[in-house]
Amino acid sequence: MNIIVCIKQVIAGDQVKIDPHTHRIVRSAEFSRINPFDLCALAMAVRLKKEYSGTMTAVTMGPEISEEVLWEALAIGADRAVLLSDPRFATSDTLATSYVLGMGVRKIGKYDLILCGMRTTDSGTAQVGPQLAEELNIPHVTGVERVEGKENLFRVERTSDGFREIAEVSSPALFTVSSKIGMRTPSLIEIEDTFTRYTIERWNLEDLDADPAKVGSDGSRTWVEELIPIAKQKSCAFIEGEPRQQAKSLFAKLMDKNLLS
Ligand SMILES: Cc1cc2nc3c(=O)[nH]c(=O)nc-3n(C[C@H](O)[C@H](O)[C@H](O)COP(=O)(O)OP(=O)(O)OC[C@H]3O[C@@H](n4cnc5c(N)ncnc54)[C@H](O)[C@@H]3O)c2cc1C
């Protein structure tokens, strides 16, 4: 089974800084890490590769510094790693990102399955997976917890609205992976070994033979006008009286703040 895993580098949640001029997230190696949801996609890929053999290719679109997440993916078990990087890809929205990833997948060649995380921890639209499937004109299922391969068919299981859903999907297909399946992080020995055994392939817009009008802000139908940090306010109030009276007062306060319905 030839598997491609799309992974993204994100800024650790409490370290997000906004550039006051461009209103964009400041990406720095110091606070960057692999999107935690993509560790679940990598864990699923490692399991399937063990069960069905085949190959596992990790791909990311991002600035040069995002190669770090590819080294981590190689340490976890990927056989190949591809960085799609070009200054013209900057400010791509999910549509433009899916186009670039689509061109990358076409250049990687034969594949049976694409795995993505459910969403990212930075903008978290959860749109790239389904959009990439549309770009490649292949079927997709979101939030899968189990995947079985049979000839040109996948049998997948997921939980949705309290129901266990089982679906059969023709190959090639794209699945976003539920975070319920758990994550896989590499050991130090695996990381050390990776640097000696692998190299990262780097493709820019020309290598992908991509259309410049479909990437970056030109290729985007949405843009982030402004990012306004939400000022977190904390206040503390002591409720006096007997426990029953305290419970009544607390209930009234919560109702007032529409925290109870
Ligand atoms: C605050 C903020 C808000 C934004 N809002 C929007 C918006 O409303 N609409 C919009 O179109 N764009 C939006 N963007 C731009 C969007 O963040 C980028 O297009 C981004 O590259 C992909 O979107 P995402 O992080 O939401 O990915 P998601 O759709 O949440 O990612 C799902 C999965 O797709 C894969 N994936 C996502 N990005 C990459 C990548 N670069 N390389 C490899 N795999 C990847 C991963 O497997 C990931 O788990 C926003 C950006 C910011 C910073």
In a domain, 250, yes or no: no
Model confidence at 15: pLDDT above 90: no
Which CATH number goes with the domain that contains 35?
Answer: 3.40.50.620
Model confidence at 23: pLDDT above 70: no
Cα 6 to averaged position of ligand 1 atoms, centre (Å): 12
In a domain, 242, yes or no: no
Q: Whose CA is nearest to atom 22 of ligand 1?
A: 94
In this predicted structure, what is the pLDDT of residue 186?
A: 84
Model confidence at 189: pLDDT above 90: no
In this predicted structure, what is the pLDDT of residue 115?
A: 98
Please check whether residue 115 is in contact with residue 234, taking contact to mean a CB–CB distance below 8 angstroms.
no
Cα 125 to averaged position of ligand 1 atoms, centre (Å): 6
Residues with CB under 6 A from ligand 1: 6-8, 25, 35, 37-38, 41, 60-62, 92-95, 97, 101, 116-117, 119-120, 122-129, 222, 224, 227
In this predicted structure, what is the pLDDT of residue 137?
A: 98
Kindly report, residue by residue over 192-205, the tens digit of the pLDDT.
Answer: 889 889 999 999 99
Higher pLDDT, 37 or 151: 37
Model confidence at 156: pLDDT above 90: yes
Percentage with pLDDT > 70 across the chain: 96
Percentage with pLDDT > 90 across the chain: 71
In this predicted structure, what is the pLDDT of residue 158?
A: 97
d(C-alpha 59, C-alpha 3), whole Å: 11
* pLDDT band at residue 247 using 50, 70 and 90 as cut-offs: very high
Higher pLDDT, 231 or 134: 134
Kindly report, residue by residue over 76-118, the tens digit of the pLDDT.
Answer: 999 999 999 999 999 899 999 999 999 999 999 999 999 999 9
- Stretch among 31-40, 125-134, 182-191, 208-217 having the lowest mean pLDDT: 182-191
d(C-alpha 4, C-alpha 54), whole Å: 11
Q: Which residues contact 54 (CB under 8 A, 6 or more apart)?
A: 1, 2, 3, 48, 112
Question: In whole numbers, what is the pLDDT of the chain averaged over residues?
Answer: 92
What mean pLDDT comes out for the span 243-247? 94
Cα 128 to averaged position of ligand 1 atoms, centre (Å): 6
Ligand 1: residue of 10, 100, 116, 128 to mutate (most ligand atoms within 8 A of CB) is 128
Cα 113 to averaged position of ligand 1 atoms, centre (Å): 20
* pLDDT band at residue 259 using 50, 70 and 90 as cut-offs: confident
Q: Whose CA is nearest to atom 38 of ligand 1?
A: 8
Q: Whose CA is nearest to atom 43 of ligand 1?
A: 60
Please, which residues bridge with residue 179 across strands?
none
In a domain, 236, yes or no: no
Ligand 1 atom closest to residue 92's alpha carbon, by position in its atom list: 19
Kindly report, residue by residue over 26-62, the tens digit of the pLDDT.
Answer: 777 778 899 999 999 999 999 999 999 999 999 999 9
In a domain, 233, yes or no: no
Cα 96 to averaged position of ligand 1 atoms, centre (Å): 10
Ligand 1: residue of 8, 214, 220 to mutate (most ligand atoms within 8 A of CB) is 8
Domain that holds residue 151: 2-219
The total domain count for the chain is: 1
Cα 247 to averaged position of ligand 1 atoms, centre (Å): 44
Cα 261 to averaged position of ligand 1 atoms, centre (Å): 34
pTM of the model: 0.89
d(C-alpha 13, C-alpha 86), whole Å: 25
In a domain, 70, yes or no: yes
SS (H, E, C) the chain: CCEEEECCEEECHHHCCECCCCCCECCCHHHEEECHHHHHHHHHHHHHHHHHCCCEEEEEECCHHHHHHHHHHHHHCCCEEEEECCHHHCCCCHHHHHHHHHHHHHHHCCCCEEEEECCCCCCCCCCHHHHHHHHHCCCEEEEECEEEEECCEEEEEEEECCEEEEEEEECCEEEEECHHHCCCCCCHHHHHHHHHHCCCEEECHHHHCCCHHHCCCCCCCCCCCCCCCCCCCCCCCCCCCCHHHHHHHHHHHHHHCCCCC
In a domain, 64, yes or no: yes
In a domain, 234, yes or no: no
In a domain, 74, yes or no: yes
- Residue in the structure block whose two tokens are 């400010």: 91
